[in-house]
Amino acid sequence: MTATELRAPAPSDATSGPRLIDLTLHVWRQDGPSDRGRMVTIDAPGISTEMSLLEMLDVVNERLTIGGEEPIAFEHDCREGICGSCGMMVNGIAHGPLRATTACQLHMRAFHDGQELWIEPWRAEPFPVIKDLVVDRSAFDRIIQAGGYITAPTGTAPDANSLPVPKADADAAFEAANCIGCGACVAACPNASAMLFTAAKVTHLGMLPQGRAEREARVMSMVATHDDLGFGSCTNIGECSAACPKEIPLETIARLNADLWRAARRRRSRPRRQRG
């Protein structure tokens, strides 16, 4: 069964009122990058269905701390689906079972009393585990550094609307700009490809006139950096888009490929500079 089939829309019984449920957690514990790591079973009774997954982990951590045990390390910041830092696998699905929902926005009403949850970090070589559920996603920063910028003219700000942008281009750029850099696409992909992330960055800059000056150099450099960092190739499986909490469509990768082919062809046909 694929992630697309496993992922469900938000439950319709969300208005049925809060309940307390008992859960059994199997959590990945790893002391540091060089530790082998192991699954640890933790009982989590009396969890409110109104809590988010991260709030449930807060409660579990408080209980662990009171009991003299090390709390579970997990990454978070905004807790409202914006920053992309909270990614984790829940029962084998990136960000858990709800479609278009980050782990921080996943509520415990998505689970039932007595359920067992397997909570693990992203599994991909370019995202090494730092501790427990926290992985190092700085490989994404290096892809951004390779071309995720535009050349901005100095001086006063241009007049509003002086640069017309076709509606379809603006919509495509805006849709791609929704990417929050969470890494779920990589974790869900059997090839650990970051092509959906890279395509989102290439698209949101390249579709707008302000980002066209570097369009060819950008796609070449970002894809080369993606490959150098050890991310796998895209084979159009589509798990990335199914796992993406911002529903970045697979067509974004097709757009990247078109840009890449155009840039590679033009570079090959460009006349060599004369020597001497």
Q: Which residues bind ligand FES (CB under 6 A)?
A: 76-79, 81-86, 102, 104, 180
Strands 116-120 and 93-94: unpaired
DSSP classification of residue 209 = G
The C-alpha atoms of residue 181 and residue 201 are separated, in whole angstroms, by 9
Among ligand FES, ligand SF4, none, the one that 246 touches (CB under a kind-dependent 5 to 8 A) is: ligand SF4
- CB 183, min distance to ligand FES, A: 11
Pairing of the two strands 20-29 and 116-120? parallel
What is the DSSP-derived secondary structure letter of residue 100? T
> What is the distance between the alpha carbons of residues 192 and 9, in angstroms, rounded to a whole number?
25
Residue 204 touches ligand SF4, criterion: CB under 6 A: no
Q: Which of 179, 207, 208, 256 binds ligand SF4 (CB under 6 A)?
A: 179
DSSP annotation of 14 reads G
121 binds, among ligand FES, ligand SF4, none (CB under 5 to 8 A by kind): none
User: Does residue 205 bind ligand SF4 (CB under 6 A)?
Assistant: no
| Residue 200 binds ligand SF4, judged by CB under 6 A | yes
Q: Does 76 bind ligand SF4 (CB under 6 A)?
A: no
- Note whether 74 binds ligand SF4 by CB under 6 A: no
Q: Could you tell which of ligand SF4, ligand FES, none binds residue 102, using a CB distance below 5 to 8 A set by kind? A: ligand FES
Angle between helices 195-206 and 167-177 (to 10 degrees): 140
Report in angstroms how near the CB of residue 76 gets to ligand FES at its nearest. 4
Taking the complex as a whole, how short is the minimal distance between the CB of residue 139 and ligand SF4, in angstroms?
Answer: 11
Round to whole Å and give the CA distance between 29 and 38. Answer: 6
**Contact between 143 and ligand SF4 (CB under 6 A)?**
no
**Burial class of residue 9, CB neighbours in 10 A (0-12, 13-18, 19+):** exposed
Contact positions vs ligand SF4 (CB under 6 A) = 84, 179-185, 196-197, 200, 243-246, 248
